[in-house]
Structures are given as structure tokens and as C-alpha cells.
């Protein structure tokens, strides 16, 4: 590949990453451009991992706020974060019996046997437990054999060290300003945790506190129309973008993966459309960010009104949107994209300051019923490349990706 072509490929890869596509084609090599490519690939891998972590946290948030199935959420946590946090055991314990006991409600580990199983209770006056209760901040224990030496009479310290646990990250659960229990992330290796590991458990603990608090709130209460309405309102806030009312990024990704599975089962195709507002930065610079927000909101309304019942539209990020349509072949997807383009370009958008003419560019990627082509990353990458082509061919147009079945 020529030098200019490699530089162009790196630039396209960087632009793709800003749109959330972390699997672009990145040329590497042993010269300066090649080393830059290697660095960019490392960055892409890191960002993809962070995106996957955010997606898992999003699913926990949905489960916590909507379904209220605590065991399902805890199992999802155990299965989802092993690449982001070193643990071979997670347990949940709650303060009960009028604040006199700490009871283990759930435990899951990668080994047997367990000394501390679900249902096990420890008196609140246990000296090792008292050390935890003295602070409502996240705590890291690098070597639990030292913890046992410090509290030799602690039933808690004796049990965890007997089980072989050597390091522990203890995250408090707080509801309505009150300590209600702990989440324990444990490892049989010493010095497994450091300060960089604190952020994720804190986010997990905050969501678990929500579901525990709601479970207590709803216990013994019959769900009536008011509670159902509140649940729907909460679902809207969790899954939709506050400004545009469209599906937010995690939600539209979730829909994409579900639609792909549905397409695979049904043996039909699926299409995605990447949508970008033309010259949006100029709109913000010329008319101000309030006008820019009004443009985003109106475009979202026009896209929604022109969409069919089987077409899903979400805010991909910034001034970009993602549409998922299935079942649709390449021809049908192109017609849908043109329908979206016309809906936006048909008339200027009226704001408090003036009427602003706005257009969009669209990139279409369609996959046939061939299962090998039904891959989210592949579809998004091809749609992103088609969008890139549409922007460089003059904008306000639809381009269709090649190379997908």
C-alpha cells in the first residue's frame, strides 16, 4: 500500500473510531506510519473494551430499573466483567435482623468448596465486620492473612482465609443514605486490586442498591396502574436519549444485536443506515448550541415520523444517528434511506433565530440471509464506509456499501 493510501486509511480508521466503530481496518508495519497504525490499533482495542464494559453496565441498569430480578442481575454481573476486574468469587451480603446480623444472600465462585455460602450469617459485633462497618467507602484488602492476624477472633476473617481468598475489594451498598450491605469481589491471589479497580464496582454497587431498595419498596404492594405508568416512564428514561427522544446508543445497539439474532433464526436479511447531519459544526458556530439542539431534535422528529413500524432509529452519538431495518434487502434499504433524506431536506428547520436549511448524508449496509454476513461490527463498518463516501461525494446523498451478501 502506498504511503498516501496508508495515511488515508489511518485517517478513516480514526474517524470510524469517533463514531464508535472500534474494528476498522488499520494498516501496520515497521516504519513510522506502521508504528502509528499499531498505536491506533491499541487505542481501538482499548476503546472497544471500554464500550463493551459500558454496554454491560447499561444492561445491568435496565435490569435493575425494570425487571427487579436481583439474582438475574447478580449472575449477569459475574459473567460480564471478568475481563475488566480480577475476581474468582463475588458475594452479596445485607444487614438484617434489626441491624444485628450480616447475611449472605448470594454467592458465586469459580471453585469449590465454599466456607461462606448463601444463607450464612455473621453477628454484627464480629471484630472483622466492625472494621468494615467503620467506613462507608470502598475498601481494598491486599493480603487477607494480614487481616486475620489483625482480627484473629473474627469469624468472617477465619472463614474467608480458610476458603483460600487472599485479596478482596469490598464495596458498600447504600440506599436512602443508609448502609444496607456489601458486595465482595474476591480473588485467591494476593495484591489483586488497586485504585484503578474502584470505579467499576462503585457503579455496580449503585445499581444493586437501586434494585434492593425497589424490591423492599414493592414488597407486598400490588402493581396498579400508577406503578405500571411509573415503570414505563422509567423505561423511557433508561433507554432513550433525553434531547431527541430517540433510542440512546446502548439501546439501539441492543436492538441491533436482537434483530440480528431474529434475522438468523428467520433466514432473512437486515440493513443498517448510518446518518450524519451535514455541516453541523457550522450550524453550532453560526447559530449557537441552542439552535443546534433544536436542529437535532427536529431531525429526530422527522426521521421518526418517516420511519415504518419495523424501522428503529437511535442517536449514535453527537450529530449521528443509526437506523436498523429488517427484513430488508439492499434495494429496500436504499429506498428507506432516501425517504429519510427527503424527510430532512424537504424544508428548513425553524428555530428561535431563523430558518436553517439542513441536509443529511447516509451510508447503507445490507446483509442477505447468509448467516456469515450477519455480524454487527461488519454491518456497522460497511455502513460507516458508505457514509464516509457520501460525505466526500458532496453530502445530502445516499451511498450503499459494497461487499456484503
**If DSSP codes are grouped into helix, strand and coil, which group holds residue 160?**
helix
DSSP alpha helix (H) spans, 137-224? 144-150, 155-162, 199-218
DSSP states of 325-368: E-S--HHHHHHHHHHHHHHHHTSPEE-SS-EE---EEEEEEEE-
CA–CA separation, 135 vs 182, rounded Å?
Answer: 12
Secondary structure element (H or E) that encloses residue 182, with its range? strand 178-187
Q: What is the dihedral of CA 311, 316, 320, 321, to 10 degrees?
A: 10
Residue 15: active-site member: no
Chain Cα centroid distance, residue 21: 14
CB neighbourhood size of 112 (10 A): 5
The catalytic residue among 63, 311, 319, 320 is 319
**If DSSP codes are grouped into helix, strand and coil, which group holds residue 55?**
helix
Least Cα distance to 381 among 259, 272, 251 occurs for 272
Chain Cα centroid distance, residue 169: 23
Half-sphere exposure of 321 (CA within 13 A, CB side): 33
Interhelix angle for 289-306 vs 330-345, to 10°? 140
Secondary structure element (H or E) that encloses residue 93, with its range? strand 89-96
CA–CA separation, 37 vs 5, rounded Å?
Answer: 13
295 close to 347: Cβ distance less than 8 angstroms: no
Q: What is the dihedral of CA 382, 387, 388, 391, to 10 degrees?
A: 170
Which residues have a catalytic role annotated?
319
Amino acid at each position: 500500500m502506498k504511503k498516501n493510501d496508508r495515511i488515508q486509511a489511518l485517517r478513516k480508521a480514526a474517524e470510524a473510531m469517533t463514531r464508535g466503530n472500534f474494528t476498522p481496518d488499520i494498516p501496520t508495519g515497521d516504519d513510522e506510519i506502521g508504528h502509528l497504525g499499531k498505536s491506533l490499533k491499541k487505542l481501538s482495542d482499548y476503546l472497544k473494551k471500554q464500550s463493551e464494559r459500558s454496554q454491560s453496565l447499561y444492561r445491568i441498569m435496565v435490569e435493575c430499573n425494570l425487571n427487579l430480578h436481583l439474582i438475574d442481575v447478580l449472575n449477569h454481573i459475574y459473567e460480564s466483567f471478568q475481563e475488566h476486574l480480577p475476581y474468582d468469587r463475588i458475594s452479596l451480603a445485607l444487614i438484617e435482623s434489626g441491624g444485628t446480623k450480616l447475611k449472605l444472600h448470594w454467592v458465586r465462585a469459580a471453585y469449590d468448596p465454599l466456607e461462606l455460602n448463601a444463607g450464612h450469617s455473621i453477628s454484627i459485633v464480629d471484630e472483622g465486620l466492625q472494621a468494615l462497618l467503620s467506613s462507608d467507602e470502598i475498601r481494598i484488602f491486599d493480603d487477607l492473612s494480614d487481616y486475620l492476624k489483625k482480627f484473629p477472633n473474627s469469624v468472617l476473617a477465619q472463614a474467608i482465609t480458610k476458603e483460600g481468598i487472599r485479596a478482596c475489594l469490598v464495596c458498600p451498598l447504600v440506599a436512602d443514605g443508609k448502609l444496607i450491605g456489601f458486595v465482595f469481589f474476591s480473588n485467591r491471589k494476593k495484591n489483586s486490586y488497586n485504585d484503578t479497580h474502584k470505579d467499576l464496582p462503585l457503579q455496580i454497587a449503585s445499581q444493586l442498591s437501586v434494585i434492593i431498595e425497589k424490591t423492599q419498596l414493592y414488597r407486598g404492594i400490588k402493581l396498579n396502574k400508577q406503578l405500571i405508568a411509573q415503570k414505563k416512564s422509567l423505561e423511557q428514561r433508561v433507554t432513550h436519549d433525553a434531547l431527541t427522544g430517540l433510542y440512546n446508543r446502548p439501546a439501539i445497539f441492543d436492538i441491533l444485536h436482537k434483530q440480528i439474532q431474529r434475522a438468523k433464526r428467520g433466514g432473512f436479511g437486515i440493513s443498517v443506515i448510518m446518518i450524519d447531519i451535514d455541516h453541523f459544526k457550522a450550524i453550532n458556530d453560526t447559530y449557537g448550541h441552542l439552535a443546534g439542539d433544536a436542529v437535532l431534535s427536529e431531525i429526530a422528529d422527522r426521521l421518526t415520523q418517516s420511519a415504518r413500524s419495523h424501522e428503529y432509529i437511535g442517536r449514535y452519538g453527537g450529530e449521528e444517528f443509526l437506523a436498523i431495518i429488517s427484513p430488508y434487502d439492499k434495494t429496500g434499504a436504499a429506498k428507506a434511506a432516501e425517504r429519510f433524506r427527503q424527510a430532512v431536506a424537504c424544508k428548513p428547520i425553524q428555530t428561535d433565530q431563523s430558518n436553517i436549511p439542513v441536509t443529511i448524508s447516509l451510508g447503507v449496509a445490507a446483509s442477505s440471509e447468509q448467516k456469515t454476513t450477519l455480524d454487527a461490527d461488519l454491518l456497522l463498518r460497511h455502513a460507516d464506509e458508505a457514509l464516509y463516501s457520501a460525505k466526500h461525494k458532496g453530502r445530502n446523498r445516499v451511498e450503499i456499501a459494497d461487499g456484503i451478501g
